[in-house]
A = this chain, B = another copy of it.
């Protein structure tokens, strides 16, 4: 059994360190790139007082008028219970409104307000601009390739899990 230190003598400061050992994991590389893009999105959304999650919820409600909180939870990949606060926040700022379904009074139909549409549109432009500063190091074709490869991994993950 080897001991914890291979060499003996005084311990010296290691000036150069790196994460090369982790780069073999595809997931690690995805994570690192994700952190950068997430940071850019947060910075872009800050002036609108929106978080990435809130913006995503707002956008999905906008393109899916009448969506219920439960359906939204599935798309956001989170529990129903955690969607409540997101919707409450968007409603309190008049970005989203809701209405009970007459056919099933347990459910609510969510819709984006006119004000919500304006905010969403401006926020989307801001994200595209900030994200573009990073992503534009890739050509349009490379961006399309990247998204296609990522989507295949995501789809396989869904297939494995569900």
Contact = CB atoms under 8 A, between A and B. Distances in A.
A151 to B, nearest CB: 6
A146 B147 contact: no
B157 A67 contact: no
A30 B29 CA distance: 11
Given A13-B101, A60-B19, A152-B137, A5 B111 contact: yes
**Chain A binding surface SS class:** helix
Interface string A95-138: 00101111110010101111001000000000110010111011
Interface in A9-61: 10-14, 17-23, 25-41, 56, 59-60
Contacts of A111: 4-5
